[in-house]
Amino acid sequence: MRVSYFAQVTYGGKATPYCNGAVTSMYLIEGNTFYDHTANGYNAYAGHETGHGQSIGHIDDTGIIALMGNNPDIEIFFKPQFPDIDFVNQIYP
Ligand SMILES: [Zn+2]
């Protein structure tokens, strides 16, 4: 399984769902090695993409700091934040 790719795009990772139209059997989580990141940065991107793999979308509210939403500094916010954790707990109670 490929876990990284190399592309000059504006994002550091991606999550690709594998779905037959009814059931999602897996997500492929990949990091973009085009960009250099610190260890914290890689953790932030990996956490974000793993969130997608747990069926969480983006949090649009810019007033909420989360891996899945507004992240003003990946050196500080590189672990799941309370809103991220809340969404996971809602989906997997
Ligand atoms: Zn995303």
Kindly tell me if the per-residue pLDDT of 2 is higher than 80. Answer: no
Q: Is the pLDDT of residue 1 over 50?
A: no
pLDDT at position 86, please? 96
Q: Which amino acid is at 69?
A: G
pLDDT in tens, 44-93: 999 999 999 998 999 999 999 999 999 999 999 999 999 999 999 999 99
- Predicted local confidence at residue 20, as pLDDT: 95
Q: Is the predicted pLDDT of residue 36 greater than 90, yes or no?
A: no
Domain residue spans in the chain? 4-91
CA of 48 to the centre of ligand 1 (A): 6
The per-residue pLDDT for 9 is 79
Interval between CA 83 and ligand 1 midpoint (Å): 15
pTM of the entire structure? Answer: 0.85
Cβ atoms of residues 35 and 29 within 8 Å: no
C-alpha of residue 92 to centroid of ligand 1, in Å: 19
Question: CA-CA distances (angstroms) from residue 2 to 16, 30, 37, 59?
Answer: 12, 7, 19, 27
